[in-house]
Structure 1
Amino acid sequence: MADDKSKTDNRDRSKVAGDEDYEIAYLSKQAGITPEQARELIKRYGNNRDKLMEHARKLT
């Protein structure tokens, strides 16, 4: 089921929801990597957005 984008709350936006395709697509676009690379980074380093971006920069 898709998220209701009109509902906002105090969720932790510093985390990447690795099971959501739109999150993977956003991360890969922002970092300039492929979605497969983004998924591998999440598996390897967890879902902390800052840490993922740090490691993604090393791939480019």
Structure 2
Amino acid sequence: MAKKGAKVERSQVNSSQPYEVKYLADKLGVSSQAITGAKRATGSSDRKDIEAYLKNKQSKSKK
């Protein structure tokens, strides 16, 4: 980690950074729009919240 400069928040997903959204979308096997929708639905930018929401949503759709 850098000792100087801006602190990078790794636990958050910044929607204005397309590479962050694309990385998470690829990781979870969903679209970038699904990531944005999950952020809106949870009201959070926390990666864990978004991942949990999408995994829960995918498991419900498989039933």
Pairwise same-fold verdict (TM > 0.5):
yes
Cross-structure match for 1:3: none
Q: Following the alignment from structure 2 to structure 1, what is the Cα–Cα distance between the partners of residues 55 and 5?
A: 30
Cross-structure match for 1:36: 33
2:4 maps to 1:11: no
Instruction: Structure 1 unaligned segments of length 5 or more: list them.
Output: 1-6
The runs of at least 4 consecutive aligned structure 1 residues that moved more than 4 Å come to: none
TM-score normalised by the chain length of structure 2: 0.70
Q: Give the helix-richer structure, 1 or 2.
A: 2
**Identical aligned pairs, as a percentage?**
19
Instruction: Structure 2 unaligned segments of length 5 or more: list them.
Output: 59-63
Alpha-carbon RMSD: 2.0
1:10/1:34 CA distance change after superposition, 3 Å: same
In terms of Rg, which structure is larger? 2
Aligned residues: 54
**Looking at both structures, which has the greater relative contact order when contacts are Cα pairs under 8 Å and sequence separation is at least 6?**
1
Contact 1:33 1:59 in 2 (8 A): no
